Amino acid sequence: APFFGAAHWLSKPLGFPPDGHSLIYCYALMLAAIFYMMAGMYLLAKVILRYYTYSVLFVVLPGLFFGTNMYYYTFFQPGMSHIYSFFLFAAVIYLTEKLLVITPAFRHFLLLGVTAGLMVLIRPTSVIVLLYPLYRWIKKTDQKSYYLQKNAAALIVMAGAGLLLWLPQLIYWKSVTGNWFMWSYGDESFKYWKEPKLFRVLFDAWNGWLLFSPLAIIPLAGLLLGRHTNRHSERIIIFIFALATYLFASWWAWWFGGAFGHRCFVEYYALLAVPFAVVTERANRRIWTKASFMALCLLLVYYNLGLTYHYQAPWDGASWTYESVWKEIKSLF
């Protein structure tokens, strides 16, 4: 909204039609995507630096950005919701840290409510990410009844702020359709919930997540490495990823249309930042493992950027096969 408003205000003075569609609005949209990507990275950096060094940070954040399809959805598709949801996911992680590790302030409860409400309003399935702060609260808080009593007013405000953000959407639906709630997807549904396309979501030639963003395997390995100690709540993150993958694999168009890689995972990279740091910190303990790890990361970054700039939508349909993907990969080397 701030970026659209600025474009609208500047459109006439700069000679653009103030119609919401002229070039200045496109520039504003691109700036918005870059801003929210950087804001999300900043919040993740604040969390990572509580546990790890700058040398780890300078691998993790550039690696996630340049080594995955987050890059594509920042610079090539800024009009889609994913990079904005990435910022909101990062904000949930940051605010959870503030509320449960650092002395909480009233504003942190309020901001978490606003963040959660906006996140779910943008994409309702993102509600599963709220399991993260809930799980951490359960694990971290010994005297739960006392915590609830002490922070009752703040918790009520948090819930109210989240619900209040839905009000403009509900009013709009009511004014347009006569109903307070509207299912805008028509006949589309989670038709594969009994036979989810799990392997295809992860590895298929049609936007398979790990096929197009293999660097994500590194933080996923970090989740598995940390699941026993559960130092960074790896268990709930694993559960959230499993549940998200099931939801994506149950949707009628499990490949989610003309996308570069599986676009629905872009926002979930926020949950992989700390697990990525776990692996990076372990790799940095010896010179040879550090050198090998850096070489691997650089190779996977090159792989992602190479495919990004080769991409011509859509890479799906009957004519798009593993042979098609392999042809694009071979052209990189």
Give pLDDT tens digits for 16-40.
999 999 999 999 999 999 999 999 9
Closest CA relative to residue 44, chosen from 4, 95, 3: 95
Q: pLDDT at position 98, please?
A: 92
Model pLDDT for residues 120-174, shown as the tens digit of each residue: 999 999 999 999 999 999 998 888 999 899 999 999 999 999 999 999 999 999 9
d(CA 135, CA 124): 20
- DSSP-assigned letters across all residues of 103-164: PP-HHHHHHHHHHHHHHHHH-GGGGGGGHHHHHHHHHH-S-HHHHHHHTHHHHHHHHHHHHH
pLDDT at 260 > cutoff 90? yes
The reported pLDDT for the residue numbered 101 is 77
Angle among Cα 119, 86, 94 to the nearest 5 degrees reads 80
Token pair listed for 37: 């990507």
Which of the 8 DSSP states describes residue 11?
H
- Helices 287-310 & 217-226, crossing angle to 10 degrees? 140
> For 66-75, 149-158, 207-216, which range has the lowest pLDDT when averaged over its residues?
149-158
**Is 247 buried (19+), middle (13-18) or exposed (0-12) by CB count in 10 A?**
middle
b/e map 212-231, b = 16+ CB within 10 Å: bbbbbebbbebbeebeeeee
Looking at the chain, list the stretches that DSSP marks H as alpha helix, in order from N- to C-terminal side: 2-11, 23-48, 54-66, 70-75, 82-100, 106-122, 131-140, 144-150, 152-164, 167-177, 198-203, 209-212, 217-226, 234-250, 273-283, 287-310, 322-330
| pLDDT given at position 134 | 96
Percentage of the chain beyond pLDDT 70 is: 100
* pLDDT tops 90 at residue 179: yes
What is the structure's pLDDT at 140? 87
In the predicted structure, residue 80 carries a pLDDT above the cut 90: yes
**Length of the chain in residues, anyone?**
333
Whole-number average pLDDT of the chain: 95
**What confidence tier does 50 reach under pLDDT thresholds 50, 70, 90?**
very high
CB 113 within 8 Å of CB 159: yes
Cα–Cα distance between 5 and 18 in angstroms, integer?
A: 11
Q: What is the pLDDT of residue 142?
A: 85
Please name the residue that has the structure tokens 């392997």: 199
d(CA 236, CA 140): 13
Average pLDDT of the residues in 189-198: 96
pLDDT at 72 over 90: yes
Residue 103: pLDDT band (50, 70, 90) is confident
Percent of the residues in the chain that have a pLDDT greater than 90, as a whole number: 93
> Does pLDDT of 317 surpass 80?
yes
- How buried is 18 (Cβ within 10 angstroms: 0-12 exposed, 13-18 middle, 19+ buried)? middle
Is it the case that residue 183 has pLDDT exceeding 90?
Answer: no
Residue 265 pLDDT grade (very low, low, confident, very high; cuts 50, 70, 90) = very high
Tell me what the mean pLDDT of segment 180-201 comes to: 93
| Six-digit token string for 149 | 């009593």
pTM over 0.85: yes
Q: Quick one: pLDDT at residue 1?
A: 83
Asked if 183 and 138 count as a contact pair (C-beta separation under 8 A), the reply is no
